[in-house]
Amino acid sequence: MINELKIKLTALGMSEELAEKAIQTVAEFAKSKLPTQFHGAMDDVMAGKTPDLGKMGGLLGSLGGLFGGK
């Protein structure tokens, strides 16, 4: 997912370096708004892994459809 975002940002004319910095900035902002128990999940997403969210995973997965997920 992160690579897809980087591709879209570079397609808009952003340098790869700037795209990576933008993604990292947004991730850090999102992490600052999440409870600490979800910081590891955010780190997993940024590393390209599927996070283990336990019970929250089902809830978040069902919400994915709202944002174009399947």
Question: Is the predicted pLDDT of residue 66 greater than 80, yes or no?
Answer: no
Tell me the per-residue pLDDT of 7-61, one tens digit each, with 9 for 90 and over.
999 999 999 999 999 999 999 998 999 899 888 888 888 888 877 766 555 555 5
User: What predicted TM-score, i.e. pTM, was given to this entire model?
Assistant: 0.64
pLDDT bin (cut points 50, 70, 90) of residue 2 is confident
- The domain containing residue 6 runs over which residues? 2-67
The total of structural domains in the chain comes to 1
Residue 64, token pair as written in the block? 């994915």
DSSP state, residue 14: -
What pLDDT, on a 0 to 100 scale, did the predictor assign at position 46? 84
Residue 8, token pair as written in the block? 């879209």
Distance between CA atoms of 10 and 30, rounded to whole angstroms? 22
What pLDDT, on a 0 to 100 scale, did the predictor assign at position 42? 85
